[in-house]
Structure 1
Amino acid sequence: MEFLTFQRFDKKDDILSFSDILTQNGIESFIEDTGNSLDSNLGNSQFAIEYHLKIKKSDFEKAKTLAQEISEKQLEEVDHDYFLFGFSNEELNDVILKKDEWGDFNFALALKILEDRGQRITQEQINDLEKERLTELAKPTGIQKEWVLFGYAFAFLGGVLGVLTGWYLMTLKKTLPNGEVVYSYLPSDRKHGKKIFVIGVVFSIIWAVIWIVKKIK
């Protein structure tokens, strides 16, 4: 069964700790280091986080429940000088909306702080916010046009980088917080990727034949 990205971390110790907890609860996982991701070099910072924790899609709900339970326990130990206590209500609502960026702990703490301030958010409202966020995250992103041009240039030169860039644009997908997998780039960019890939393969063969012929002569 395919493993999909469940959470992203920028600290190795944090992801190792959570991975151990998943293992203790019967959830198989593995860590992917994406620190040198080509995607970040193509101008898309969405995937610039260094470590991805991957689990089976069938384990997503169990892992989400486990992460929420851990966060709720951590709330009892949080110091009141933690930075979220200085957030305005509007900023805390943004943390709740973008749970995928802020993490389970900050999400749970934002809910608690708002409730202490007299603004209680119901589970129904949270569900609506999750749907809104999923719709936003599912939208494909556009790539910088300069990289498309570079991809064509490398493809015509017969470079491996052109072939890789084309394949990447054409096939790259992202995993949403609910485990759904969607294409990362716009259909127009994926079409460019297919053209770059084909051109790169063709010209790689042409230049290889030319090089072989010269060697024979």
Structure 2
Amino acid sequence: MSTELSTYRKFIYEDDALELIKILEDNQIVNELVNNSSQLDSSFGGDINTKQFELKIHKDDFVFVENLEEELIKDEVENVEEGYHLFEYSDEELVEIVTKKEEWNKFDYLLAQKILKERGKEINPELLKIINKQRIESIATEEISPTWLIVIGYVCAVLGGLFGIFIGAYLMYYKKALPNGDRMYGFSRQDRSHGQNILIISGIAFLFWIGIRLFSYKNY
């Protein structure tokens, strides 16, 4: 088993993550909760949109944990009250939940399938596998080339600003997590090459301007 942990799910509320962590620990599943909330939270009143917690586990444990969750909430899904908000969703909205399961909690994902089945729109297990595979393939596409960011990166690099180094590193090393635990580079090879160039130019320009300032200071 790989020692690297992959993002299994993202949470807005830490308490929701802690509930799942308790289940993982009861089943001796190695996990890590990473707080990616913006440092600006306290300054701007704790805006909920800046909060994000990532729960990470071993990629090899993904299927086991998914099956474990489904087994634990099976009775809740079967006995949910009719007033639950998903019962008001259209068939199209419920299908969207099923096709984008990484954006929803496990309860809503399973309940959406149950409601569709009751409406005569059941999605069989084989079709679910195809849907999940296609979803991963759609997410696994590279980001649109960030031309504006590349331009800003080169400008900052020439000026010797540290911001150029940050932009270069971001373009080179940014990766996104897929629902199955895999990770892939977010930008194309060409964009990553721009990132490398920006890093190199930034480093050279930074040393150049430092040298200029030291020389000017000595001759002052």
**Interval containing the TM-score (normalised by the shorter chain):** 0.7 to 0.9
8 A contact 1:9–1:52 mirrored in 2: yes
Unaligned runs of 5+ in 2: 40-49
Following TM superposition, by how much is the alpha carbon of 1:105 offset from its aligned partner in structure 2, in angstroms?
1.5
Q: Alpha carbons of 1:188 and 1:140: their partners in 2 closer, same or farther (altered >3 Å)?
A: same
Distance change >3 Å, CA 25–CA 158, structure 1 → 2: same
Selected match of 2:174 from 172, 175, 199: 172
Contact 1:142/1:189 (<8 A) preserved: no
Instruction: Tell me if 1:116 matches 2:118.
Output: yes
Q: How does 1:101-180 map to 2 (within 5 A)?
A: 101-142=103-144, 144-180=146-182
TM-score normalized with structure 2 length: 0.86
| 1:73/1:188 CA distance change after superposition, 3 Å | farther
1:55 maps to 57
What is the aligned partner in structure 2 of residue 88 from structure 1? 90
Taking the aligned partners of 1:145 and 1:185, their CA distance within structure 2 comes to: 11
Q: Which runs of 5+ in 1 are unaligned?
A: 38-47
Is residue 34–residue 53 contact of structure 2 (8 Å, CA) maintained in 1?
yes
Match of 1:97 among 76, 99, 113: 99
TM-score by length of 1: 0.87
Q: C-alpha offsets along residues 130-185 of structure 1, whole Å, 9 cap, x if unaligned?
A: 11101001011125433222222222222222101111111111121111111112
Q: Which residue of 2 aligns with 1:212?
A: 214
1:203–1:18 distance in 2 versus 1, CA, 3 Å: same
3-state SS in 2 of match to 1:54? strand
Partner of 1:197: 199
SS in 2 for 1:209: helix
SS in 2 for 1:53: strand
RMSD across aligned positions (CA): 1.9
Residue 188 of structure 1 corresponds to which residue in structure 2?
190
Give the 3 Å change call, closer, same or farther, for CA 212–200 of structure 1 in structure 2. Answer: same
Provide the C-alpha distance between the structure 1 equivalents of 2:113 and 2:188, rounded to a whole number of angstroms: 34
Structure 1 pair 71/214, CA: closer, same or farther in 2 (3 Å)? Answer: farther
Q: Give the partner amino acid of 2:212.
A: I
**Distance in structure 2 (CA, Å) of the matches to 1:103 and 1:153:** 43
User: Secondary structure of 2:132's match?
Assistant: helix
Given that residues 8 and 49 in structure 1 are in contact (C-alpha distance below 8 angstroms), is that contact kept between their aligned partners in structure 2?
no
Residue-pair matches, total: 207
In 1, Cα distance between equivalents of 2:216 and 2:97: 62
After the TM superposition, list the runs of 4 or more consecutive aligned residues in structure 1 that deviate by more than 3 angstroms.
Answer: none
Contact 1:138 1:176 in 2 (8 A): yes
How far off its partner does 1:110 sit? 0.4
SS in structure 1 of the partner of residue 122 of structure 2: coil
SS of residue paired to 2:104: helix
Q: Which moved more, 1:64-73 or 1:15-24?
A: 64-73
Q: Which secondary structure does the structure 2 equivalent of 1:174 belong to? A: strand
**Larger CA Rg, structure 1 vs 2:** 2
